[in-house]
């Protein structure tokens, strides 16, 4: 049983770094010089001591397996110290300042050299590993040059570099093509043959793209199928800006997929179970983090892209604001949203000219005060043609006004993705599909794309700003994470700028958006106190274009939210007037002609939904937002529509009063635009053209003076409330 060491005892067996060799040698040399000088010892005594120390250092180094350099340094330190000791014994160690000054300088020099050498030794394993890797790269480079000649028939290629991926899932080969017109396409056309020649595992493949110039090619080789791995959405959900890119997933080489929606529109396709909905939620997350972006949703197939983001506000009550600023669960609400968006585009272009001049740009700069609007439209193939056309108009005109669109479809075929959606988008994503041919209509360079490179749910191909499409895997985000993010981002969601609300009709419908849509999104479901207050605060606005029965007591802003205080409405605009008491004795008027349609019959909700697909759409130049059906909200009781204004003081124009009298005189049969035009022109003092009537009738329908009745197809008549039989 060995002795226990006492506290503070010196451990003579502890290893000493190389720098201690210089210190030990200097101490021994100084002692030898002083003692030898006093004892008048022979001069070779110092040299002998140094030689003995050098031999001992070598012996210890051999025993402890020091490196060759380490042993040489220690031996050199002892020999130098022995030589100094002999010199100091000859001159006298304290005869002047020179002996000990030189000893001190030599010790410091030895210390520094030893430290530098220790660092060099520490880096030796890394140098050896790099040398071995370089040797492998050189060998692999030779193999690639030979492979390109054998498989692609391209000789004279030179491998510039081979870089291993950080995640160890593959490597990238940079190759200089030979002179004489060799192109990257000549290599990419043989991608499948190269993959077979490399004997890559299933799920692994090649990405062949242009390098720094057209004479350089990059070949990304995946040796591990990282596409099958799941990548959770990153933990960082700090506030961001739409001016930055959105990180939506990982490429096969583990590099991030970064997409920009500041100026570009997006197009996404993907079959069911392909991961499209998850990708939309990932993009939603990136947009919700932006302090300068409002997100609007269009999804008339169930509002699946909106419901998870509204839960924190509308159901749980844990968020002060909804993450989604507006959602359209019906075709009517979608049409209203897009027409409001077009008005915002026009208003911003005119009103922000000075601001654009101040920043020397022809596009509106975005900020939390002037947020960008991103409209995400899911299942665009299910939208009626009139709404698809409006969506295309927003895509084509909204870039300068900071209004952009992300369109989504189940397939990439022409019947689901219009040419406008494809040609006007710079971000194109195709999730997992069943047929390679669907890539042909989506991507600008579909050659070499194979669905086998994106075989699992959540994987796909992405084309960014015209670059060659690359396979990627989208981040995975789950409902619980969406709920937590919705609560976090509520603190810094922006609000619509006042300029975008200068049109009173647009502002009115925007203010009342949640009053119309919440009962549709959460039918018979308990809402949070804040959401329920909006629903219960006031009756909805009059319903244009659809007879739902009379509406009572409406005001321009009846949602219960004091949005007018936050967003002033335009000057010179007045709210709808208060209806006057009904008239009891309508004046005589011409009866409807034989060509007029028969009296209206009761219409079911199913009939209305079918007829909405063929609803009459007014010319955009004559369109007013009040000519849009905005809701199917069930009312608690039949309200009362406003009367015809035969005695109403708010309508003073004789022709308008006469037109309303003619509609009332037609009874339940009503009058269409053509019949009303003929009747007015028959009276010299009241003749008006169709465009004028197209402006009047929708406004009167919104104010409750008339009711629009769809007779199927494009047959539309207007009746007064007291003759309405809906």
Is the model's pLDDT at 124 over the cut of 60?
yes
Is the CB of residue 145 less than 8 Å from the CB of residue 159? yes
pLDDT band at 7 (very low <50, low <70, confident <90, very high): low
**Full-model pTM:** 0.60
Q: What pLDDT is attached to residue 243?
A: 95
Strand partners, 461: 430, 471
Strand partners, 158: 176
Q: What pLDDT is attached to residue 556?
A: 35
d(CA 564, CA 575): 12
Beta pairing, strands 425-431 & 265-269:
parallel
Tell me what the mean pLDDT of segment 640-648 comes to.
42
86-96 per-position pLDDT tens digit: 777 767 766 66
Strand partners, 209: 218
Which two tokens mark 585?
């004795």
Is the CB of residue 434 less than 8 Å from the CB of residue 455? no
176-181-187 Cα angle (round to 5) = 55
pLDDT band at 408 (very low <50, low <70, confident <90, very high): very high
Is the model's pLDDT at 204 over the cut of 70?
yes
d(CA 706, CA 665): 12
Element (H, E) at 296: strand 293-298
Is the CB of residue 582 less than 8 Å from the CB of residue 645? no
DSSP 151: I
pLDDT band at 495 (very low <50, low <70, confident <90, very high): very high
pLDDT band at 551 (very low <50, low <70, confident <90, very high): very low
Residue found by looking up tokens 């009059």 in the block: 542
Q: What pLDDT is attached to residue 623?
A: 32
496-524 per-position pLDDT tens digit: 999 998 877 778 889 989 999 999 999 88
* Closest of 571, 599, 555, 549 to residue 498, by C-alpha: 571
252-263 per-position pLDDT tens digit: 888 899 999 999
pLDDT band at 19 (very low <50, low <70, confident <90, very high): low
d(CA 641, CA 44): 125
Q: What pLDDT is attached to residue 337?
A: 94
- Give the residue with greater pLDDT, 552 vs 311: 311
Is the C-alpha dihedral spanning 531, 540, 640, 576 positive or negative?
positive
DSSP 467: P
d(CA 621, CA 505): 16
pLDDT band at 23 (very low <50, low <70, confident <90, very high): low
d(CA 153, CA 183): 12
Residue found by looking up tokens 């739902």 in the block: 548
d(CA 255, CA 245): 14
Is the CB of residue 702 less than 8 Å from the CB of residue 542? yes
d(CA 178, CA 162): 18
Is the CB of residue 699 less than 8 Å from the CB of residue 624? yes
Q: What pLDDT is attached to residue 35?
A: 74
DSSP 475: P
**Where does 403-512 have alpha helices with state H?**
419-423, 438-442, 479-489, 504-511
Residue 146 CB-half CA count within 13 A: 8
Q: What pLDDT is attached to residue 605?
A: 52
End-to-end CA gap in the chain? 107
404-450-148 Cα angle (round to 5) = 115
Is the model's pLDDT at 604 over the cut of 60?
no
What residues contact residue 695 under an 8 Å CB cut-off, 6+ apart?
A: 622, 624
Phi/psi-derived region of residue 65, left when phi > 0, alpha when psi is between -120 and 50, beta in every other case? left
CA dihedral 47, 49, 55, 56 (to 10 degrees): -160
Tell me what the mean pLDDT of segment 445-470 comes to.
86
Is the CB of residue 157 less than 8 Å from the CB of residue 176? yes
d(CA 683, CA 692): 16
d(CA 534, CA 526): 13
**Count of helix runs (H) and strand runs (E) in the chain:** 23, 16
pLDDT band at 342 (very low <50, low <70, confident <90, very high): very high
466-491 per-position pLDDT tens digit: 888 999 999 999 999 999 999 999 99
Strand partners, 269: 409, 430
Which two tokens mark 699?
């406004």
Is the model's pLDDT at 151 over the cut of 60?
yes
Is the CB of residue 295 less than 8 Å from the CB of residue 286? no
- Give the residue with greater pLDDT, 350 vs 136: 350
Is the model's pLDDT at 599 over the cut of 60?
no
d(CA 400, CA 175): 41
Cα 592 to chain centroid, rounded = 56
When mean pLDDT is compared across 213-222, 245-254, 416-425, 545-554, the lowest value belongs to 545-554
- Give the residue with greater pLDDT, 50 vs 268: 268
- Give the residue with greater pLDDT, 584 vs 304: 304
C-alpha dist (Å) from residue 422 to 146, 178, 352: 41, 36, 29
Is the model's pLDDT at 693 over the cut of 70?
yes
Q: How many CB atoms lie within 10 A of CB 655?
A: 15
Is the model's pLDDT at 564 over the cut of 50?
no
Is the model's pLDDT at 65 over the cut of 80?
no
Q: Where are the beta strands (DSSP E) in 349-487?
A: 372-377, 403-409, 425-431, 459-464, 470-474
Q: Which domains does the chain have, with CATH numbers?
A: 18-123 (no CATH), 153-222 (3.30.780), 266-533 (3.40.50.300), 654-723 (1.10.10.10)
């Amino acid at each position: 049983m060995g002795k226990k060491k006492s506290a503070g005892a010196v451990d003579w067996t502890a290893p000493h770094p190389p720098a201690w060799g210089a210190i030990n040698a200097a101490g021994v040399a100084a002692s030898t010089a002083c003692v030898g000088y006093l004892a008048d010892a022979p001069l070779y005594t110092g040299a002998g001591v140094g030689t003995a120390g050098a031999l001992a250092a070598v012996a210890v180094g051999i025993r402890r397996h020091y490196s060759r350099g380490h042993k040489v340094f220690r031996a050199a330190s002892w020999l130098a110290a022995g030589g100094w000791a002999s010199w100091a014994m000859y001159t006298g160690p304290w005869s002047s300042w020179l002996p000990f000054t030189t000893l001190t300088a030599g010790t410091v020099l030895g210390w520094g050299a030893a430290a530098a050498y220790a660092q060099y030794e520490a880096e030796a394993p890394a140098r050896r590993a790099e040398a071995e890797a370089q040797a492998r790269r050189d060998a692999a480079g030779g193999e690639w040059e030979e492979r390109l000649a054998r498989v692609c028939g391209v000789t004279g290629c030179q491998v510039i570099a081979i870089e291993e991926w950080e995640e160890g899932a593959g490597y990238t080969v940079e190759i200089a093509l030979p002179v004489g017109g060799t192109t990257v396409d000549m290599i990419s056309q043989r991608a499948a043959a190269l993959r077979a020649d490399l004997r890559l595992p299933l799920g692994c493949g090649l990405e062949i793209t242009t390098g720094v110039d057209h004479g350089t090619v990059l070949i990304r080789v995946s040796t591990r199928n990282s596409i099958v791995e799941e990548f959770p959405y990153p933990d960082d959900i700090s506030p961001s800006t739409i001016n930055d890119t959105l990180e939506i997933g990982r490429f096969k080489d583990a590099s991030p997929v970064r997409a920009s929606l500041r100026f570009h529109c997006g197009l996404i396709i993907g079959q069911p179970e392909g991961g499209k909905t998850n990708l939309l939620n990932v993009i939603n997350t990136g947009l919700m983090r932006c302090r300068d972006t409002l997100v609007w949703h269009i999804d008339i197939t169930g509002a699946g892209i909106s419901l998870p983001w509204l839960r924190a506000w509308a159901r749980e009550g844990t968020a002060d604001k909804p993450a989604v600023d507006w959602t359209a669960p019906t075709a009517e609400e979608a049409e209203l949203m897009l027409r409001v968006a077009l008005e915002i585009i026009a208003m911003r272009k005119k009103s922000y000219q000075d601001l654009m001049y101040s920043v020397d740009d022809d596009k509106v700069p975005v900020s939390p005060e002037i947020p960008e609007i991103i409209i995400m439209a899911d299942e665009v193939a299910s939208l009626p043609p009139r709404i698809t056309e409006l969506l295309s108009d927003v895509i084509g005109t909204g870039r300068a006004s900071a209004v952009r669109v992300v369109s989504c479809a189940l397939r990439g075929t022409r019947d689901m993705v219009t040419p406008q959606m494809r040609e006007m988008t710079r971000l194109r994503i195709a999730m997992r599909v069943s047929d390679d041919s669907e890539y042909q209509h989506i991507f600008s360079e579909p050659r070499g794309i194979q669905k086998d490179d994106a075989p699992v749910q959540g994987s796909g191909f992405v084309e960014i700003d015209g670059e060659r499409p690359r396979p990627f895997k989208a981040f995975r985000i789950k409902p619980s994470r969406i709920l937590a993010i919705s609560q976090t981002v509520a603190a810094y969601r922006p609000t619509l700028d006042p300029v975008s609300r200068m049109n009173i009709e647009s502002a009115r419908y925007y203010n009342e958006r949640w009053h119309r849509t919440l009962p549709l999104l959460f039918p018979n479901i308990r809402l949070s106190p804040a959401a329920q207050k909006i629903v219960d605060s006031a009756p909805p606005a009059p319903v244009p274009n659809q007879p739902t029965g009379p509406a009572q007591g409406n005001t321009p802003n009846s949602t219960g939210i004091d949005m007018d205080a936050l967003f002033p409405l335009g000057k010179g605009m007045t709210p709808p007037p208060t209806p006057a008491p009904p008239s009891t004795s309508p004046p005589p008027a011409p009866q409807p002609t034989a060509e007029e349609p028969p009296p209206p019959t009761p219409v079911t909700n199913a009939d209305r939904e079918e007829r909405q697909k063929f609803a009459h759409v007014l010319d955009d130049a004559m369109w007013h937002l009040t000519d849009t059906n905005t809701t199917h909200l069930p009312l608690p009781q039949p309200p009362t529509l406003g009367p015809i204004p035969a005695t109403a003081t708010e309508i003073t124009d004789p022709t308008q009063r006469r037109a309303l009298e003619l509609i009332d005189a037609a009874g339940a049969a009503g009058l269409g635009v053509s019949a009303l035009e003929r009747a007015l022109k028959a009276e010299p003092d009241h003749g008006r053209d169709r465009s004028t009537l197209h402006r009047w009738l929708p406004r009167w329908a919104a104010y409750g003076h008339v009711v629009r009745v769809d007779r199927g197809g494009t047959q539309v008549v207007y009746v007064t409330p007291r003759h309405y039989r809906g």
